Amino acid sequence: MRDAGGLAGCLHPLQTFPSREPAPERLAGAWCGVEGDGSLEETLRGMVTAMVARPFSLAGVDRATYHAAAVFASNFVVALMAAAGRAWEAAGLPGELAREALAPLLLASASNAAALPSLAALSGPVARGDAGTVAGHLAALEAEPELRALYVELTRELLRFAPTDLAARGVLLELLG
């Protein structure tokens, strides 16, 4: 394309589009990564602004890592909700209630994560340094090895920033193996 005199560019909205139906209203307020040769970047920024979205530059950015960050914030939330549904059913609760019952918790947590620094948004046993509850979760998930492994990895990630005191952190890390 460049060899023929064209300009290359990228416009990547940080927004979900789960349907194949057009949904331009979803772009309002969304951040959009842009990069382009010459004047194209300014044209892309103008397009983003016209959509009432917020542009930022992708120039010099490792796009694969950037996109992985977007997957963590979007696709993996869906995976976590599916895992929560599996744990809900493993607990003996009716599967058809899982999404409806867990959605308010997911939405409140997402709202906290969007509005607050990670440390301030965190609640639950890791935030409290409650090794007994974590041990109970790990024991309960023995029958679901994939869910247990996911729980362990996510708990390790929480321990990267959780306010847990050093003694509790050590106990938690030991529990996680």
The reported pLDDT for the residue numbered 155 is 96
Distance separating alpha carbons of residues 167 and 170, to the nearest angstrom: 5
Domains of the chain: 8-71 (no CATH), 73-176 (1.10.1040)
60-81 pLDDT tens trace: 999 999 999 999 999 999 999 9
Distance separating alpha carbons of residues 144 and 89, to the nearest angstrom: 11
Query: Is the whole-model pTM more than 0.85?
Result: yes
Mean confidence (pLDDT) of the chain? 94
Helix (H, G, I), strand (E, B) or coil at 11: strand
96-128 pLDDT tens trace: 999 999 999 999 999 999 999 999 999 999 999
